Structure 1
Amino acid sequence: MQIEIALPDDLARDLTAKWGNLERQILEIVVVQAYRDRVISAGKVRQLLGMATRLEVDAFLKQKGAFLHYDQSELEADRQTHEQLRHEGKLSLLYWLCLLRLATFSV
């Protein structure tokens, strides 16, 4: 869908001078707000903004002050998965990277 926004020329000029690519900045603003409102997922953020990795999305959202949607039930599910993997001896570097990511977002 194409949406046109009428901006006074001086405002468009000032915003472009400050933000650079005005269309991209407006898209990012809409995408971040949609994520905050739980209209879209982090995966959709990645797709809409053409990001290569989930870590890139996480860093972008953190920079914008839109933190991960991660509630107590998801934490409990992850804890149970961890216990199962630990019991099976299948813990990997991925687990430690996830812990690092969670620690980064809890500060």
Structure 2
Amino acid sequence: MYKLVFFVPVSHCEAVKRAVFDAGAGGQGEYESCSWQVLGQGQFLPLKGSQPFVGSHGKLEIVDEFRVETLCEKDFIHGVVAALKKAHPYEEPAYEIYKLEVI
């Protein structure tokens, strides 16, 4: 089992969550589409050659984003990450994957 954590602008949060759920994430026991999210701010500085979804080259950008956490079984993790990247508006979406141990 894995925990997937990703950061997504408010405007695209529901669409990206739906994509990762449809790909197999978010299951916990007899429940599906499970996640936890919190609103915060992300920042980035687009460099020359990038194609930022928001902002412009050479200007620090601060964006309201959700941090979303969800569970994913091993068999689905690669497809879930592919779905995340496809649905996410950023060309370089930020995400983390943690391997979980059942105790």
TM-score (norm 2): 0.24
Identify the structure with the greater helix proportion. 1
Higher relative contact order (CA 8 A, sep 6+): 2
Give 1 or 2: higher strand fraction: 2
TM-score by length of 1: 0.23
